[in-house]
Structure formats: C-alpha cells, structure tokens
A and B are shown apart, each in its own frame.
Chain A
Amino acid sequence: MTAEQPRVTPEPTDETAAETRVLTGNEAAAHGAKLARPEVVSAYPITPQSAISETMAGFVASGELDAKLFRIESEHSAMSSLIGASLTGARTFTATASNGLFYMAEMLHFASGGRLPIVMAVANRAASPPWNVWGDQSDSLSQRDSGWIQLYAENCQEALDLLIQAYRIAESDDVMLPAMVAFDGFQVSHISEPVVIPSQEAVDDFLPPYDPEDSLAQSLVDGDPKAFHHITPPEASFFEYKYRQAQAGERAKDRIEEVDRLFGERFGRRWGGLFDPYRVDDAGVVLVTLGSLTTTAKAVADEYREKDLPVGVLKLRSFRPFPEDELATVLEDVPVVGVVEKDHSFGLTGSVYGDVAAALTNVDGQLTQNFVTGLGGREVTTEHIREMYDALLETHDTGCVDRRSRWVGVSR
C-alpha cells in the first residue's frame, strides 16, 4: 500500500486529463461530483460548503450537468429528497457541514439502512456554540456510527479524486452503502491550488452508470409491486438485515483499496486506499493524521529525519470502515503511535484515537497518545507538529506517557 504519493501536483498525463486549473477545494469537489454525472442534486447552503452547491447550480444552469437540482429548504429535507430519488435508481449528490450534518443525522441512518449509495461532500466545520464557522472535524467524526463510508481528503486534488472514487466504492454491488467525502473547511475548501480535472470521457469509462436491480422504477417497469423499507418486527428479519449491512461495510475495505489502485492506473494518481504510510518502515514514533494537517506533518517528519530522529506519518483516509487489522499490521513494529485530530469526544479522548488505540491493543509494549488540536479552525502550525513529535520521542525514550490526551495549541 505504499504509494509514491506525489507531493507536488504532477503535469496532466496526456489523454485522461481535460486541464489543470487553480481551484478552491469547494470548486474541485464540485467538479469531481459533476464528472460523476449525478441525476438529482439537493443541497442546502452552509458555510463553508456553500460554493459547492453554487458551482453545481452553475453546471446545471449552463447545461454542463443534466441533473434535477432542488432549491431545498433544509439539510434534513436535502437528504430526504435524495433518499427518495436514490430509491428510484437515480445517482445523487449533496454537500453539507457541521450543524447541517447534525440536522441530517436521522436521515444518515435512513440512507445507510436503506442501502442507498448516496455520495456527500462534507466541508468539515466546528460544532457550535460558541458560534464558529471555521474548520474542525468534530462534525463528520461524530457521525461515525451512522453507517456511512467516511473518506478524508488531504487537499483539493484528493477531494476531487475521492468524490469520483466514492461513487464507484459506494455503488459496488457487494457494498451498496452511502459515502461521505470529508475535507477541512477553509484549510481545503477555501484554499486554491492547481488541480487536474480529468476528462468526462475518462471518468465515464472509469465509473459505469448506476443501475440497481431493485428500485421503485424497476418495480414499476416490471409490473412487480413491492414494498421498500417495510416493517420488520424483532423476531422477523431486522437483526439479520443489519448483520448483512455490517458485512457490506467490511467488504467496502477491499473496494476502497481496489478503486484507488484502478484510479491510479487510469489517472496516474494513487492516494493509498485505506491509509497512506509515509516513512513508517523503520520509524520509532508515528503520527496518525486525518485531512489537511497531514501535509504539514510530512514536512516536519522530513525535517526530523534529517536530524536522524526516526519519525513517520500515517495518513488515515478511511475512517469508516475503520482499517482495524490493516493498521495493526503496518504499525506493529512502531514502539510509539500518536494520533492527531481536530476533534474531541467529550468525556474521553478524540474519537479517531479511541478507534486507533482499540486496533492496537494486541501490539504488546506499544504506547499510544492522542493530540487534540485546531478546534474551531485554529491554525495547526509546524511548531504544533514539532510539539507532538517531541512528546512522542520523549515517550519513546522514557517508556511512559504523561497524559493520554493532550491539547496542542490551546492557551491554558
């Protein structure tokens, strides 16, 4: 799974690329979604994602995208309308953030329980109050139990690519689960950088049309009336149905790996599937990261390596399904593992740390630590990353962790 992950966006390889343009993360995400040809789009404005909806509306108005676009009245109704549309066999797209995602929470469970492969972009944003529209990851991370696949992008290019990958993963016939592509509000959504926009032909070739065997449309066409999402009492099939849904989540791990590999072959860019290790092989300490601060972490890792300090970075791309066994394997020889996230699960530690620590319980002698940083959009500087590596290296030398969850960058 080690990827020669391009740190600098490469020149487009000939026939698959339409063009390279400087785009914000929101615009890149909108292009990714458009190229997947969603048939029904329904999104409610919310900073920091609003530009995605605006760009999509522009594509529809200009005729670049043949989609029915709802000027919907709320995020709850946005997801509700897409559930209705997806049930007819139409491909769907929406985008939201923070309070919007929380307002959709009921419908997240409805989409996953309904096995509807809806794809959503989430421009991560803090959970208010106090009122804050800037980026942290507490919104999507807190929805980890909703049954949605959760993929995290590091930069604008990965946001675009991941949205195309997400459709293929979600619509695989042995998966059929909805998928979120999350990226940092502002640090990705509003930062502009060169982005390769693949050609529509290349994406059409990579992404076959969505054509489910079971749908309201099919039921009508076949004259075979049936009830979707019928009532299943305790002793009937509910328990078995949820077991099968969990199995689909397991199978999604293979799809995430496979789709990233196929994407690399087709478009020249690979991102690493479930996660992307960087200088982990002989590392004494590794920092597990999620999203845009990965870029800064790699820069500091290079700096420490030059001073012969054995540090590495492991960028987690799939938070659900969580690569529990795969993570334990790739980190089994690493004495100290830190997890940095822009999130805190009140009453314990960051939620990513909780899952990573659980995955590593059987690796004896290994020490783990959690770093909570960047809440409410507070900038995560190279200095903050150094503070984390220094703490991990000290743990490496002393063999003991002073505090399992450490808030970095907050003034006490």
Chain B
Amino acid sequence: MKDPQPRDDKLFVQGHTMCPGCGVALSVNHIMDILGEDTVVLFSPGCLSAASTIEDNYRFRVPSAHMGLVHSAAFAAGVSAGLEQVGVDDVTVAPLAGDGATADIGFQALSAAAERNDDVLYFCHDNEAYANTGMQGSGTTPMGAATSTTPAGRVAPYGKSSRKKDLFKLITDHNVPYAATATPGYLGDFKEKVTKAKETNGFRFIQIFDPCPEGWKFDGSRTVEISKRAVQSGMWVLAESEYGEIEITRKPADREPVDEYLELQDRFNHLSDAEVAQIQAAVDEFWDGYMEAEV
C-alpha cells in the first residue's frame, strides 16, 4: 500500500511538533480548513510557532509572520491596513495568540483594536497557562488550578487564587461585530462560529478552550473528552455575541457536577471538597443567573 499522503488541500499539515493530543493543534487544523488560502496567520510566541516555524519546518500553507508577545492585535491591525493600502484585498488577517498574550501582556493592544474595530479575526488559544514556557499561570488560568507559578503547597492559596478572566465578556463589551467562545469537542459549533467570523468584517474575536495534556496533566487521548466535559459541567460556556448581544449556543442539557471534570486533571487533584464546592457554587451562580435572565 503506498505511503498515505496528506490531502493537498490541508493548510496546516503533519510534521509540526506539538505534544501528542494537543488541543491547540486540533483547533488550528480546523481553523485553517475554514479560513482557506487567502489568509495571513500571525503567531504570538508560544507552542504553535515553536512547533511549526522552526528553521526548515514551516507547516502552514499560508503566509505568516512571527510576532512579539505584547502586541498581537496592533501588529495584526497593521498587517490588515498594509494589505489594504498595497491593494491586496479580502484577505483574512488572523493572529493565533495564546491566552497569556491575549489576556495579560497583550490586553491593552487587544482592547484598543477592538475599540477601533480594526479588520482582524483574532483567535485566542486558551490553554489556561503560559504552556510553552513551562505552564506558568496566566489571567485565564481557572481558580484553584496548580501551575508552576501558582503551585499548591502547604500554605494557602492552593493553586490560583483569583477567578478566570472572562475575555469573551470583556471583548463583547467593546461592541465588536462578532465574538464567540468555542472548543474542539463541539466541532459543529466550532466550525459554525469560525465560518461566521470569517464572513464578518471589522474586529472579530474567538476564544477557544484548548485542553493541554502536558500542562493540565491528563493523558493525551482524553483531550476531546475533557473539552466536552468542560461544557457539560458548565465550566466552559459556549456562546457568541454580535455588537454586544450575547447568545448561549450550547446549553448543557443536565449539567454534570464540576467534580467529574476536575478529577480528570492532576492540576486540580490538591483541591479539598470545600474548594471544589466553591467552584461548583461559582458555576451554579452563573447558570442560575443566566436561567433567570432567560425566562
């Protein structure tokens, strides 16, 4: 049987060196299929570029540039303006940025580009930590999670002490044309949102919940399962917004207890029952509040 060849219509191909079972690689595979070849991708420093743009190993079938960590949205806005000025139009300019690059160091540029409504389709790969540099905690690390800079030791706080920064809500409140949350476990929802974002102009923002086996300490085979359980337990909310109006796109039928999601990952295995209850309460508070608003 001849060597199985990758389909030549794939824009993100094998040979990248992301870890086995990586959620980001899974998401990018589908993002590139949907965006197509009239696309420029821009990398914030992190796993994705480290795994696919080293010396002789460029695995994206579109032009790209490596950015710094601080300025994804501003850099992308410049590319978009430049392409317009040199007469190369209807190209999707897509920064593929990490959660730290988006929620922490790059938040100022993100907020300003959203406020200016720059013509950029901004993807935030949220694996809830600075994965490439060694799993340090970021603003989107969930409360209670142990990371290399929020370790669970003998004295409080045990793991991250503050709540996960709600990037989707913050960018929605900038009144951008389109924003959404997604995760590869719900592939249909994921593809619809990337397609809708591609067909919209102005500043669009998609925050993707990408499980990270190496960082969250679970076996790489369970990436899709964990992605689903995060939604089913209500820890990750699948929603979208247009000019500030939010819609939940997948309501978990009967919400699973958060414990079933947390116990799959060693980053949470230090949590006491009281701490798990605290997380459960926060999730309940959101969904109860939401249900009220709904009815």
Contacts and interface: CB of A to CB of B under 8 A. Distances in A.
A77 B55 contact: no
Contacts of A228: 63-66
Interface stretch (A230-238, A350-358, A403-411): A230-238
A242 interface: no
B43 to A, nearest CB: 9
B54 A233 contact: yes
Nearest to B88: A217
A92 B74 CA distance: 14
Interface in A64-80: 67-68, 70-74, 76-78, 80
A227 B63 CA distance: 6
A55 interface: no
A163 B63 CA distance: 31
Contacts of B287: none
Contacts of B60: 225, 227
B134 interface: no
A24 to B, nearest CB: 28
B109 to A, nearest CB: 5
A230 B58 contact: yes
Contact of B71 (A90, A107, A215): A107
B50 interface: yes
A80 B55 contact: no
A83 B65 CA distance: 10
A251 interface: no
B79 A220 contact: no
Interface in B106-140: 108-109, 111-112, 115-116
A42 B102 CA distance: 21
Most buried by B among A74, A76, A215, A216: A216
A39 interface: yes
A85 B53 CA distance: 21
Interface residues of A, number: 46
Contacts of A42: 78
Given A40-B85, A227-B65, A80 B116 contact: no
B237 interface: no
Contact of B53 (A72, A78, A82, A231): A231
Most buried by B among A83, A87, A88, A219: A88
A80 B74 contact: yes
B206 interface: no
B86 to A, nearest CB: 5
B38 A229 contact: no
Given A73-B112, A221-B88, A233-B54, A84 B63 contact: no
A90 B67 CA distance: 18
A85 B80 CA distance: 7
A60 to B, nearest CB: 12
A220 B80 CA distance: 13
Contacts of A39: 82, 85-86
B62 interface: yes
Contacts of A85: 78-79, 81-82, 85
B77 A81 contact: yes
Given A85-B78, A226-B58, A227-B58, A217 B109 contact: no
A86 interface: yes
B40 A220 contact: yes
A231 B66 contact: yes
A371 B54 CA distance: 49
Nearest to A238: B55
B18 interface: no
B66 A81 contact: no
B68 A110 contact: yes
Contacts of A232: 55
B58 A87 contact: no
A216 B49 contact: no
Interface in B34-84: 37-38, 40, 42, 49-50, 53-55, 58, 60-68, 70-71, 74-84
B26 interface: no
A377 interface: no
A86 B86 CA distance: 10
A89 B58 CA distance: 22
A81 B81 CA distance: 9
Most buried by B among A82, A110, A225: A225
A374 B154 CA distance: 57
Interface of A: 39-40, 42, 67-68, 70-74, 76-78, 80-90, 92, 106-107, 110, 215-217, 219-221, 223, 225-233, 236-237
6 contacts: A70-B77, A74-B108, A81-B75, A84-B42, A84-B74, A220-B38
Interface of B: 37-38, 40, 42, 49-50, 53-55, 58, 60-68, 70-71, 74-86, 88, 91, 108-109, 111-112, 115-116
Which 4 residue pairs spanning A and B have beta carbons closest together?
Answer: A84-B78, A88-B82, A81-B78, A85-B82
Given A86-B82, A106-B70, A230-B55, 5 more contacts: A68-B81, A77-B108, A88-B86, A225-B63, A227-B58
